[in-house]
Structure 1
């Protein structure tokens, strides 16, 4: 995703990613989730880090997305 309009904003577990995606979609931000371990498994290969996913959003929406991600992750740290 190097030459695209999307940028990686977060890496985490499936559960946290899904929580963030729900919050982003609630405000109209479309997110793309990339799971290399699942892609590797489906292709018949192994992956070094299981369960880690990357979250991408449009470069134009990065600032708003990061604010939401910060709010979600800070709530989880309590």
Structure 2
């Protein structure tokens, strides 16, 4: 995503990324999920191994998004 207004703020498994997207949407922050393994599967190069997903947000919302992500990940680690 070069030359983009989006920046990567998190990489993790499907479940955690979905939780983060839900929390971000609750604060009106739109996130984009990039999943290389799912893209490959849809193109016919599938694998049975679930990969990591990257979470991107608008650069202007990155600071707020990172605070939410830190809170959620701290809660999950506890």
In which range does the TM-score fall when normalised by the shorter chain? over 0.9
Structure 2 unaligned spans of 5+: none
How many residues were matched structurally? Answer: 77
For the pair 1:69 / 2:69, whether they are aligned, the reply is: yes
Partner SS, residue 18 of structure 1: helix
1:22-33 map, 5 Å: 22-33=22-33
List, as ranges, runs of 4+ consecutive aligned residues in structure 1 with deviation greater than 2 Å.
none
- Give the alignment's TM-score, normalised by structure 2: 0.92
* RMSD of aligned alpha carbons: 1.2
